[in-house]
Structure 1
Amino acid sequence: MDKYLIVGLGNVGDEYDQTRHNTGFMVLDAFAKASNICFEDKRYGFIAETTLKGRKVILLKPSTYMNLSGNAVRYWLTKENIDQKRLLVISDDVALPLGDFRLKGSGSNGGHNGLGHIQQLIGQNYARLRMGIGNEYARGGQIDWVLGRYSEEEQKELQPSIDIAVDIIKSFVLAGIDITMNQYNKLGKRTKTKRE
């Protein structure tokens, strides 16, 4: 059976719940809820499993804290013997407006600590879905911004993108990265980002 590892980045603990930096966790929570599965506390992270048309899908929310996320990713790839081509990492991104998103088959970490640590351990060659969280902060305020909680209005604005992200995960597993990028990237708001 083909196996896929879907990783949502975030920080564990109530103080980080619903913060912008935990958008990856929020996407995985939405996918798990839609799939009627629950997370279990396991080594290096919280794991939930399901199958999609005969393919095994393993969801991972690392419990290592953001800047050591690579430890969890590398461990579960190895433990489950999953090809890196079947890895999708979901992260927050300040360079994209709130509600925008970008799916890529590989690339740089763009200054994101979680992606940076994954890249150190396994390289750049894996798919990633970057969820825009906006950057409405004053100079020097980035850490407070990413660790801040979404307001109710922001959550409403973000929700459609979380729903699309759940569909992107399914498409990634069933159709592959190229078809999924072609289909879904045009649904992002096509805004030019600082990073691209």
Structure 2
Amino acid sequence: MKLIIGLGNPGSQYEKTRHNVGFHVVDFLATTYSMRWERRGRAMIANGTIGIEKVVLVKPTTFMNNSGEAVGELVRWFKIEPDDILVIYDELDLPMGQIRLRPQGSSGGHNGINSLISHLHTNQFPRLRVGIGRPANSRIDTVNYVLGVPAGDERIELEISERKAAEAIPLYLEKGLEAAMNLLNVDPEAQRKAEEKKRLKQERREQEKRLKAERIEQEMTSKQAASGQQEPENLSVSD
């Protein structure tokens, strides 16, 4: 069994903020797999299966900075080891549209992860970070940014990122952490450059083939012309 934990803040005023992407992802999973939310202690949970894996979706209701209190209670209740949880949360240092799956690590300054590390007494638990990017205007306060509601195209981009994260969960459950990381943690720019390099290499190969074919054709034409000049004319003599 796995605990799939989305981090966020409860309450309608926070519902659509960047900081609540973890909630959005597990809500999407609950809808997709027909799971119903119910209260358990200081969290909302939804039980079900994804593929052949039994999962419990979790939304702590303790507010982001105290997420570890609710998660710690559930880990003890379900007798789950830290490596059987997956935490989903927003990441300022990832551009919008990118996600990263990691087996463990520091909090990177994220208060929700800080709280989990404190209450689980370890940082050895998998996490899926969803990029929200940093504000384009450096004068915008970070707290106001993460607690802000994106609008227009940014809202659409964030929803695409959240759906991408939700679609990564079945892959993680089916193939395991390491295999899923190899498939998911692809730098889009590096991938674009690799594809461009492959395309240019293919074009050069095709160009070399064309040039070789043209040289062979020219050589054959030259040989035929030379052969024609060396043969004596077949003159017809009439009596």
Tell me the TM-score normalised to structure 2 length.
0.75
Partner Cα distance (1:185, 1:131) in 2: 12
Shift in CA distance, 189/111, structure 1 to aligned 2, threshold 3 Å? farther
Once the two structures are aligned, what percentage of the paired residues are identical? 37
Equivalent position of 2:93 in the other structure: 95
Q: Deviations over 1:63-119 (max 9, x none)?
A: 000011011111111111112111100010111111211110001100000001111
Partner Cα distance (1:41, 1:177) in 2: 29
Equivalent position of 1:142 in the other structure: 142
Shift in CA distance, 189/30, structure 1 to aligned 2, threshold 3 Å? farther
Equivalent position of 1:19 in the other structure: 17
Residue 55 of structure 1, CA deviation = 2.1
Partner Cα distance (2:69, 2:148) in 1: 25
Shift in CA distance, 91/189, structure 1 to aligned 2, threshold 3 Å? farther
Shift in CA distance, 128/189, structure 1 to aligned 2, threshold 3 Å? farther
Partner Cα distance (1:56, 1:20) in 2: 29
Equivalent position of 2:132 in the other structure: 133
Q: Secondary structure at the match of 1:15?
A: coil
**Over the residues paired in the alignment, what is the CA RMSD in angstroms?**
1.7
More helix by share: 2
Partner Cα distance (1:84, 1:128) in 2: 11
Kept after mapping to 1: 8 A contact 2:6/2:22: yes
Equivalent position of 1:156 in the other structure: 156
Equivalent position of 1:6 in the other structure: 4
Q: Deviations over 1:109-139 (max 9, x none)?
A: 0000000111112211000111111111434
Partner Cα distance (2:45, 2:164) in 1: 21
| Higher gyration radius (CA) | 2
Shift in CA distance, 189/130, structure 1 to aligned 2, threshold 3 Å? farther
Shift in CA distance, 138/46, structure 1 to aligned 2, threshold 3 Å? same
Residue 8 of structure 1, CA deviation = 0.4
Partner Cα distance (2:77, 2:112) in 1: 20
Kept after mapping to 2: 8 A contact 1:9/1:114: yes
Partner Cα distance (2:187, 2:32) in 1: 21
For structure 2, the residue ranges without an aligned partner over 5 or more in a row are: 192-239
Partner Cα distance (1:50, 1:42) in 2: 15
How many residue pairs align between the two structures?
A: 189
Kept after mapping to 2: 8 A contact 1:102/1:188: no
Kept after mapping to 1: 8 A contact 2:105/2:123: yes
Tell me the TM-score normalised to structure 1 length.
0.90
* Partner AA of 1:164 in structure 2: K
For structure 1, the residue ranges without an aligned partner over 5 or more in a row are: 192-196
Q: Secondary structure at the match of 1:99?
A: coil
Q: Deviations over 1:156-191 (max 9, x none)?
A: 112232222112211222221101101111166669
